[in-house]
Structure 1
């Protein structure tokens, strides 16, 4: 029977992280699994706890949102330790990409019975150093939107990201980007550049419909300058992925992508990294073992 160490972000989505784990934990223990619970004081502390549990050959459960999932998943990338997710955050986008069920009983069955699957991760290098994340790296207006969403005190989930996007777009001025994909340089002026391992970001918005977590490639989505009214329309089209058909959107694929800009442009990754370009993202194929 499997042995789990659950690492909880107590603040993810309010107090829902603890509540989500309690529902799943009862089912795991009733099935005979061993489960220990650790509460993280910070993302760095959560990563330390994950490494310690992995060294004891336990399955690590990341309980929370994309921040703790990406932080723990990045730490476990390349180690052979198996990761499980108990989604309980604002976005839960990587869990969505893995098609994890939201029903506690169905999720418990995945954690108990399903074989681990190898998925890709993203190595991120910038002036702040090296990190490994799971879902995406985004540079431009969406990094500002994510920052606003993270500081929202009233709204949650998709609503916080949508309002954060409106606030960011209202003050954004186009940036000149230089995007190098596997050694080939592309210039771009506009709103954002997204390097996606997962199709989803921003609480279920389909930024890269063709992105797959296990194909050894990253999707590069570039949104060029357009009137603000058109950009708001495009934001709505992210719900279905229809934005990719617009002439203002260009999509490339590659294994190593470097993003630079003609002025200080913020970038983020999995909702946690908050820095300024330039940044380099590299795919790490099949580097993480996940229950999904």
Structure 2
């Protein structure tokens, strides 16, 4: 069993605005099961940006044995940043209750309260990679360009009520404008160098993005690499072909797509392109990306590979 340990104290980091409101009952059931099995629990409810990150930094300097991250990809991102900044790799159990929650779905994290608690009590953990974007860390994905801003521009109240449909509605609103405005980008890496207009840049740790599996078909959380996908500037007809190919995971062989693995890559532009990091606003270009190998320890019910 990788990283086996004997824990009793668990901090529950809980984002009440993530996903549909029914998840509150799920959190209560999980805490009840763990308390019945002798665990000591703390609960921290986030109220604003970086609350989860700051509380996890404190946890790293206290005697907590594990953390349960209750929320979407943004909540998990803050927890991961807190662990990196706090300097102690506390194991994290991911209770994916956000609108899409790509990361939890990619790892097949148990969905029922009983199975989720069994995963924690079995104490099977896995060390996974993280990405670093300048001074920020990400768990699953960083992107800019076509539709990449949808996640952080969609209002939280719409996400809670409409779920994934909220993303589609926002995407339809901005797609025509973005197709007409490619971003002139310079990419510097060992694997690829280019200096031209592109429609989309995505750097990912996992294979699921925006709720779609196999978006990055060769991605693994523990291979020491980040997977990069670039859509070069193209015609509307070609873009439609590419978008159709995503549904069958054949997109990486399409013309005008670059797909490769990298450990380090620098992206710059003469425009003020906005970067998305795990579904949240991540600032503007330029960005230096680098993989952080085995930066986060997570609970799993079984190894995914």
* TM-score of the aligned structures, taking structure 1 as reference length: 0.90
Match of 1:71 in 2: 78
Match of 2:173 in 1: 167
Match of 1:135 in 2: 140
Q: Secondary structure of 1:112's match?
A: helix
* TM-score of the aligned structures, taking structure 2 as reference length: 0.86
Match of 2:16 in 1: 10
> What pairs up with 1:1-292 in 2 under 5 angstroms?
1-55=7-61, 56-77=63-84, 79-125=88-134, 130-150=135-155, 153=158, 156-172=162-178, 173-182=181-190, 185-232=193-240, 234-292=242-300
| Alpha carbons 1:43, 1:68 under 8 Å: kept | no
Q: Which runs of 5+ in 1 are unaligned?
A: none
Question: What is the Cα deviation at residue 14 of structure 1?
Answer: 4.3
- Provide the C-alpha distance between the structure 2 equivalents of 1:90 and 1:141, rounded to a whole number of angstroms: 20
Q: How many residues align?
A: 288
- Provide the C-alpha distance between the structure 1 equivalents of 2:24 and 2:257, rounded to a whole number of angstroms: 40
Q: Which runs of 5+ in 2 are unaligned?
A: 1-6, 301-305
RMSD (CA atoms): 2.2
Q: Deviations over 1:135-155 (max 9, x none)?
A: 111011232222343457276
Instruction: Give every structure 1 segment of 4 or more consecutive aligned residues whose post-TM-superposition deviation is greater than 4 Å.
Output: none
Question: What is the Cα deviation at residue 240 of structure 1?
Answer: 4.2
- Provide the C-alpha distance between the structure 2 equivalents of 1:237 and 1:105, rounded to a whole number of angstroms: 38
* Higher-strand-fraction structure: 1
| Alpha carbons 1:181, 1:254 under 8 Å: kept | yes
- Provide the C-alpha distance between the structure 1 equivalents of 2:139 and 2:248, rounded to a whole number of angstroms: 22
